[in-house]
Structure 1
Amino acid sequence: MNSRSERTAADPRLGEAHIERVGGVVLVGVLHDHPASVYRVRSVVEGVDPDAVALELPPLAVPLAVRQAADERTPPTLGGEMSAAVQAADTDRVVGIDGPSAGFLRYLAAELYAERASADTVRKVAAGLRSVTARAVKRRAAAAVMALTSVQLAVDPPTTYDTGRTDDPARQAEEERRRADTARSMLRTFAAPPAAAVRRAARERYMADRLAALGGTDEVVAVVGLAHLDAVAGHLRDA
C-alpha cells in the first residue's frame, strides 16, 4: 500500500458509515457542502475511477455542476461535493439521478396512489414540484450563461459550517457527524408532513432504479445526501 493509500485508509472522513457498495455502484453519503463530504467524494471518485458519476441532482442542474467543476482551484469554489465529484473524475459521463424529470413524475404519481393521498397532500406535492422545477431551470440557465462568459455564478449560496477544508481531518469528521446525528434525531422525533414523506419516498426509489440501470455493466460512483444513503442502498439491493 502506498503512502497516499495509507493516509486515505486512516482518514476519519472516509468512515464506512458514509460509503456503501451495491454491485457496480459505490454510494457516497454527503452532508451538502461540508468539507469532510467534499474530501470523501474526491477520494472515492479518484480511488474507484468510475465509468460514470451519478449526482443527486435533476438532469437540468447537471450542466451547472460541470461548469463549476472547470474551476482551476481544487476543490472547486462553487458547487460543493457535486462539482468536486465531477472535477475528480476522468469520465465525462455525469448523470443526474434526482427529480424533477419525466421519469420521476411517474414515481411520484405511484407513491401518491399507494398512500391514497388526500387532495391537500396532492396540492402540496404539486407546489413543491413547481418549486424544485423552477430551481432546476434556474441552474440550467446559469450554466448557459457561464458557457458564454467567464462569469462564475453562485446560484445556490453554499451552506456554512463550523469547520473548513483546511482544518484537521478529525475535526471535520466530528463536526459532520454531529450535524448528521442532529438531523437524524429530528427526523426520528418529528414525523414528516405527508407531502414531504411522499416526495422523499418517490425520490429514493427513483434514484435507486436509475442507479440500478447505470450500474448494470459499469462502475458508478453516486453522490447522495446522507439522509438518503441507507434507503437508496436498500432499494438498490432489492432492484
Structure 2
Amino acid sequence: MGFPSAVDIDSDPRVTGEYIRQVSSDTRTVTLVGVVHDHPASTYRARQVVEELDPEVLALELPPISIPLFKQYASTDRCPPVFGGEMSAAIQVATGTTVGIDRPTGGFFQRLGQNLLRERPSLQTVRNVVSDAVKTTKHAIICRAAATVGARTSVRVEVDSPVSHDIDWTDAPDDQARDERKQVRRSRSFLNAFRTASRSQASRLEDVAREEEMAARLLQLREEGDIVAVVGIEHLDSVAERLNSVDEAASPDDVRDHYRTN
C-alpha cells in the first residue's frame, strides 16, 4: 500500500498553501514546498506537488554531492521509498533535472565569510560556525561515498536514521497534518528555549548564508524552466522573500487557485 495517485486540494489538508509559496517571473515559476524532514505529511506534499506540476527542475535542500545517494534511495518500487524521506519521494516522481542547492558549496562559504566579516561576532560564535561547517562538509562527503558504494555494489547505505514522528503515512490525512503543525511549533519552541546566545547567533549567520545561496541558485536555475524546490519549513518564507525581491510572490490563496486550474 502506498500514496494515492492524485490529490484533492480542496479536501486533503496535507497539500495546501500553508506550506507552499510561488514566485513567478514573466515566463517561469518557482514553487517552494516547505517540509518537516521525514514527516509523512511533508513527504506526501513534496511528492504530490512535484507529480502535479512536473517541473523542468527539482531543487532540493541537499548538498549537490549528496544527490546521487538520494537518487539511489528513490530507485525503488516502494512508495514512499524506505530511505531519504521527502527528498527521495520527490525524486521518485520527478521527470526533469534534479539538483541540490544547499551547503556545502563555494557560494555558501563565500556568503558566510562575508557575513562574518560584516558582523564580527564573538570568537565562540565563530568557533560554532566553523564546527558546524566542518560537520556538514564531512556529512556530505559521507553521502557521496555511500552513493559510490551503492553504485558499485547495489547495496543501499543508510547514512541517516529517519527522524521519528508520532504518526506515519498510514494515518488519516487530517491526523498527519495536525501532527505536522505540532512538530513545527515544538521545533521552534525548543530552539528558542535551549540555544545559547553564541549558538543562536551562529545558526542565524549560517541560515542567512544558506538562504541567500539557495535563492541565488534558484534564480539561476529558473533559466532552465519551472522549478519545484523542497526546503525546510524554517527556510520557506525567507527564501520566498529573497526571490520576491526580484518577482512578486503568490499568496497561499493564489497557490490554491493554481492547483484548481491545472
> Is 1:212 aligned with 2:219?
yes
> Is 1:158 aligned with 2:162?
yes
Is the CA contact (8 Å cut-off) linking 2:22 and 2:30 kept in structure 1?
Answer: yes
> Residues 146, 81 of structure 1: CA spacing in aligned structure 2 closer, same or farther, 3 A cutoff?
same
TM-score relative to the length of structure 1: 0.93
TM-score relative to the length of structure 2: 0.85
Displacement, 1:5?
6.0
Distance in 2 (CA, whole Å) between partners of 1:236 and 1:35 is 28
Distance in 2 (CA, whole Å) between partners of 1:109 and 1:6 is 43
Distance in 2 (CA, whole Å) between partners of 1:187 and 1:208 is 24
- Say what the alpha-carbon RMSD is for the aligned residues: 1.8
1:63-109 deviation digits (Å, cap 9, x = unpaired): 11111110121111100001111101112x11110110111111111
Structure 1 window deviating more from structure 2 (49-58 vs 207-216): it is: 207-216
Distance in 2 (CA, whole Å) between partners of 1:174 and 1:153 is 32
> Residues 196, 148 of structure 1: CA spacing in aligned structure 2 closer, same or farther, 3 A cutoff?
same
> Is 1:230 aligned with 2:237?
yes
1:143 aligned partner: 147
Displacement, 1:217?
4.9
1:180-229 deviation digits (Å, cap 9, x = unpaired): 12223345556652211111111111111111111245100000001110
Is the CA contact (8 Å cut-off) linking 2:38 and 2:163 kept in structure 1?
Answer: yes
- Trace 1:30-45 onto structure 2 (pairs within 5 A): 30-45=35-50
Runs of 4+ in 1 over 6 A off after TM superposition: none
> Residues 146, 210 of structure 1: CA spacing in aligned structure 2 closer, same or farther, 3 A cutoff?
same
1:63 aligned to which of 48, 61, 68: 68
Distance in 2 (CA, whole Å) between partners of 1:9 and 1:141 is 43
Distance in 2 (CA, whole Å) between partners of 1:6 and 1:87 is 17
1:84 aligned partner: 89
Is the CA contact (8 Å cut-off) linking 2:61 and 2:230 kept in structure 1?
Answer: yes
Displacement, 1:118?
2.7
Distance in 2 (CA, whole Å) between partners of 1:5 and 1:74 is 13
2:177 aligned partner: 173
2:259 aligned partner: none
> Is 1:122 aligned with 2:126?
yes
Residue 199 of structure 1 aligns with an amino acid whose one-letter code is E
User: SS in structure 2 opposite 1:160?
Assistant: coil
Residue 99 of structure 1 aligns with an amino acid whose one-letter code is R
1:7 aligned partner: 8
Distance in 1 (CA, whole Å) between partners of 2:6 and 2:169 is 20
Is the CA contact (8 Å cut-off) linking 2:41 and 2:177 kept in structure 1?
Answer: yes
1:151-207 deviation digits (Å, cap 9, x = unpaired): 121110001111111110000000001111222334555665221111111111111
1:196 aligned partner: 203
Distance in 1 (CA, whole Å) between partners of 2:204 and 2:157 is 32
Aligned residues: 236
Segments of 5+ residues of structure 1 without an aligned counterpart are: none
User: SS in structure 2 opposite 1:10?
Assistant: coil
Displacement, 1:6?
6.4
Segments of 5+ residues of structure 2 without an aligned counterpart are: 247-262
